């Protein structure tokens, strides 16, 4: 359900920023993590700690509303992270791992 905005540089196979991927930045390499981001992003808000991460990144909607959450995940994040434009999805994963 996630549709990434063009300016997010997101891989359409895994969802991670191509700016952070050694294989996909030039779109010639094979995706390292196909279908990985969607599973992670779906599971993160299933706990209180995960909901806090999603809210901290900037989502103020209902994480139970899959369409609303997916639309937000595919949107460009409000600020640069590590000097790069990224999707909200990539920033959620970065905060989750950190």
The torsion angle over the Cα atoms of residues 59, 62, 68 and 69, rounded to 10 degrees, is 60
Q: pTM of the prediction?
A: 0.84
pLDDT digits (tens, 9 = 90+) for 22-71: 665 555 667 777 778 888 888 999 999 999 999 999 999 998 899 999 99
At residue 73, does pLDDT exceed 90?
Answer: yes
């Amino acid at each position: 359900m996630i549709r990434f905005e063009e300016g997010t540089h997101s891989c359409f196979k895994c969802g991670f920023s191509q700016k952070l991927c050694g294989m996909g930045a030039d779109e010639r390499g094979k995706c390292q993590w196909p279908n990985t981001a969607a599973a992670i992003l779906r599971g993160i808000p299933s706990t209180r700690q995960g909901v806090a991460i999603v809210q901290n990144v900037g989502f103020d909607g209902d994480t139970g509303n899959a369409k609303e959450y997916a639309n937000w995940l595919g949107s460009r994040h409000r600020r640069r992270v590590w000097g790069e434009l990224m999707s909200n999805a990539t920033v959620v994963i970065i905060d989750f791992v950190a």
